[in-house]
Amino acid sequence: MLHNQILLVIALLLAIIGLHMLSAKIKVSYPILLVLGGLAISEIPGMPHVTLDPDWVFLIFLPPLLYEAAWYTSWKDFWRLKTPIGVQAFGLVFFTSMVVAYFVNAFIPGFPLALGFLLGGIISPPDAVTTASVVDGLDAPKDAVTILEGESLINDSASLIVYQFALAAILTNRFVLQEAATQLLWVAFGGIGIGMTAGSAIYLIRQRLPTTPSIDTSLTLIGPYFFYLTAERLHSSGVLAVVAGGLFLSYRSHEFLTAKSHVQSGSVWSTLSFLLNGFVFFLIGLQLPMVIEGLGDTSLARASLYAAGVTALTIAVRIIWVFPTTYLIRLSPSFKKNKTGWKTEILVAWAGMRGVVSLASALAIPLALDDGEPFPGRNLILFITFCVILVTLVLQRLSLPALIRRLRFDPDAILGTPEQQRESMSMRLALAAREHLDIHFHDECKNIPMFGRLRTSYEWIVSTAFIAGGSSAQSEDARALGARYKQALLELVDVQRKELIQARREGSYDHHLTLEREDELNLEEARLERSHEEIESAEASPSSKIRHQDWKEPL
């Protein structure tokens, strides 16, 4: 039995990998292809039903995926746009829940208001995993991406609050507003405080105690579970704890992670994210047989009608909410410098894809009430949730590229196009490297043309500077000169990294582009450190010889 389960998991992994490669081939967003692939595979005769355990999503999948999304979110941009993000993440969730509750109460016979709020809490939040996967690769404006990613990071906590209160009201037949308000404050602010406190503890441990790349990588894997479980244990928001801890550690990562740790943890997280994201979207598609079978006495046609109405309302409510609230936000003096254009508002209003958190919340509804009676409307809620996820993910994601082309976004007036930013970033880092060379290698560099110092790699500059030393190069021991050469290159990597960190704090370039360049510097430093260690090892070994031209040749 165990062997069969392992074989099924391996088969699913192979299917996920194959569909991911196919999505790159046919240029279709991989979350959509994985969901549709799961739907198709679920209809294969003899295919065993794969059920999605909500505990797996909330405990195994959600913490690392939220943590990764928070890690790659710009804290500066997040804080700059905190007002629209907060209005979307909390205000829109509560508004959507209320509208959906009253709509289904009137539209679906025998559907009580409390059950409507339960459904509203489930389907109201766009999903962080879905949004990050879907928005990636689109030529969308930075502010729109920041709002969408920031909103999706924290709106799960708001929706789960509505969900928990509605579920408690159904199970206990009581609801006290004062208790709910008090619990809401603790859930929100307690989760943030726990995440910041736990993140600070990890930060101090990494600064005060010696670590290795393997230890650092292990801590990044343990961290999100530590944040989540601690907050949940204290009856606060595990989602907000993971997000707060992830944002804090990401902002401070350059202070405690070495280049080797960055490279190793980045590789591990890239693979882990690929597998977890693939499983999440694939499992959504595989739920179809179970969802349809659970409808019971409700016909598929009638259930589809209900689902279509709720889906259309959910999309419309988001559009109706965005424009008036954005206008009100613009009236705030603190937001006048951060106005978003109407084109950005249209994109934010349309990009409201739901995902696995909504489905997991629906699956987590108890099968029975406290008195043993079947939970009313559970199967219909599950079916409606599945349809909302499918329609918003497929319809809205497929239409996003055409919408972006239609809106004809102008290049960001401050940052410019990605190509312009990369060119500007390269020039800024080259200038910082040149300044360092002029100070420490003035005599060797004075004969190198200015164009060469700016346009070529600094490795070539240092190599030329050492060769230009001529007599000094011939008089020094080859090994010592080689070590000095490597050390000079490492110094320039550090100079450029400090300049890049400063640019990131200033918001001079797109956050993802600075992370991309930082990865390049980390790879380069790791390579140089390895070469430097080889030289030191050779110096320590009497039998080792390093040729004089070794330090002259390109690495």
Give the global pTM. 0.79
pLDDT digits (tens, 9 = 90+) for 242-261: 989 998 998 888 888 888 88
State the number of CA atoms in the 13 A half-sphere of 65 facing the CB. Answer: 29
Residue of higher predicted confidence among 461 and 240: 240
Tell me: pLDDT of 129 over 70.
no
Q: Is residue 319 part of a domain?
A: yes
Percentage of the residues of the chain whose pLDDT score is greater than 70: 80
162 and 50 in a single domain? The answer is yes
Strands (E), 441-495: none
- Looking at residue 478, what is its pLDDT? 55
pLDDT value at 9 more than 90: no
Decide if 485 is inside a domain: yes
Query: Tokens standing for 352?
Result: 């409201």
Domain membership flag for residue 331? yes
| pLDDT score, position 538 | 55
Q: What is the pLDDT of residue 414?
A: 45
Which of these three, 383, 407, 431, is where a domain ends? 407
> Residue 102 and residue 108: Cα distance in Å, rounded?
10
Query: Mind listing the pLDDT tens digit for each residue in 34-47?
Result: 888 888 888 887 77
**Segment 179-191 mean pLDDT:** 78
pLDDT band per the 50, 70, 90 thresholds, residue 545 = very low
Per-residue confidence (pLDDT) for residue 470, from 0 to 100 = 46
Which residue, 407, 431, 460, sits at the end of a domain?
A: 407
| Domain range enclosing 543 | 418-551
Distant-in-sequence, close-in-space partners of 293: CB < 8 Å, separation ≥ 6: none
- Say yes or no: 307 and 434 in one domain: no
Q: Which residues, at least 6 apart from 55, have a Cβ–Cβ distance to it below 8 Å? A: 364
Q: Answer whether residue 321 shows pLDDT above 90.
A: yes
Task: Quote the number of domains for the chain.
Answer: 2
User: Is residue 180 included in any domain, yes or no?
Assistant: yes
- Say if residues 445 and 463 touch (Cβ distance below 8 Å): no
Q: Are residues 230 and 277 in the same domain?
A: yes
Model confidence at 337: pLDDT above 70: no
Reading the block at residue 523, the tokens are: 């790879």
Per-residue pLDDT tens for 492-538?
888 888 888 888 877 778 777 888 888 888 888 888 777 656 555 55
Are both 87 and 200 inside the same structural domain?
yes
Residue 210 has pLDDT above 70, yes or no: yes
Backbone angles phi, psi at 391, to 5 degrees: -70, -45
* Closest C-alpha among 318, 274, 333, 278 to residue 147: 318
Among the ranges 1-15, 79-93, 450-464, which has the highest mean pLDDT value? 79-93
Domain stops at, among 387, 407, 427: 407
| Average pLDDT over every residue of 356-381 | 82
Q: Kindly state whether residue 412 falls inside one of the protein's structural domains.
A: no
Backbone dihedral angles phi then psi of residue 196, each to the nearest 5 degrees: -65, -40
The structure tokens listed for 292 are 């349809």
Q: For residue 40, what is the domain's CATH number?
A: 1.20.1530.20
Task: Supply the pLDDT for residue 145.
Answer: 80
pLDDT confidence band for 541 (50 / 70 / 90): low
* Tokens of residue 367, six digits: 């099968």
Question: What pLDDT shows up at residue 412?
Answer: 52
**Other beta carbons within 10 Å of 89:** 23
Predicted local distance difference test score (pLDDT) of residue 443: 55
Asked if residue 413 is part of any domain, the answer here is no
Longest dimension (CA), the chain: 94
Label residue 138 exposed, middle or buried (CB < 10 Å: 0-12, 13-18, 19+).
middle
Q: What percent of the chain has pLDDT over 90?
A: 17
- Mean pLDDT over 328-343 rounds to 67
pLDDT at position 410 is: 65
User: How far apart are alpha carbons 397 and 137 in whole angstroms?
Assistant: 12
Say whether pLDDT at 438 is over 70: yes
Q: Identify whether residues 368 and 464 lie together within a single domain.
A: no
Do 252 and 382 belong together in one domain?
Answer: yes
Nearest to 356 by CA among 348, 364, 347: 364
Q: Is residue 218 part of a domain?
A: yes
Residues 398, 433, single domain; the answer is no
* CA–CA dist 514, 415 (Å, integer): 12
- Kindly give the interhelix angle for 397-407 and 342-350, rounded to the nearest 10 degrees: 170
Q: What is the model's pLDDT at position 46?
A: 75
Q: Confidence band (pLDDT; 50, 70, 90) for 71?
A: confident
> pLDDT tens digit string along 257-311?
888 888 899 889 989 988 888 888 888 888 877 788 778 778 888 999 999 999 9
Tokens found for residue 8: 């099924």
Query: At residue 416, does pLDDT exceed 70?
Result: no
CA-to-CA distance for 135 and 265, rounded, in angstroms? 23
Are the C-beta atoms of 97 and 91 separated by less than 8 Å? no
Going by pLDDT thresholds of 50, 70 and 90, the confidence category of residue 133 is low
Of 49-53, 157-161, 188-192, 454-458, the range with the lowest mean pLDDT is 454-458
Task: Mark whether 392 and 422 lie in a shared domain.
Answer: no
Helix (H, G, I), strand (E, B) or coil at 331: coil
Cβ-count burial 490-527 (b if 16+ within 10 Å, e if not) = bebbebbbebbeebbeebbbbbeebbebbeebbebbbe
- The torsion defined by the Cα of 80, 83, 89 and 95, in degrees rounded to 10, comes to -160
Residues 346 and 448 in one domain: no
In this prediction, residue 411 carries a pLDDT of: 57
pLDDT at 418 over 80: no
Residues 179 and 296 in one domain: yes
* pLDDT 10s digits, 135-168: 666 667 777 888 888 888 888 778 877 887 888 7
Of 306, 304, 290, 293, residue with least CA distance to 111: 306
68 assigned to some structural domain: yes
What is the band of 466 on the pLDDT scale with cuts at 50, 70, 90?
low
360 & 278 share domain: yes
Q: 385 or 359: whose pLDDT is higher?
A: 385
Handedness of CA 315, 393, 303, 88 (dihedral sign): negative
Q: Please, what is the average pLDDT of the chain?
A: 79
Count CB atoms within 10 A of the CB of residue 321. 19
d(CA 456, CA 449): 11
179 plus 292 within the same structural domain: yes
H helices, E strands: number in the chain: 28, 0
Q: Is there a contact between 100 and 107 (Cβ–Cβ < 8 Å)?
A: no
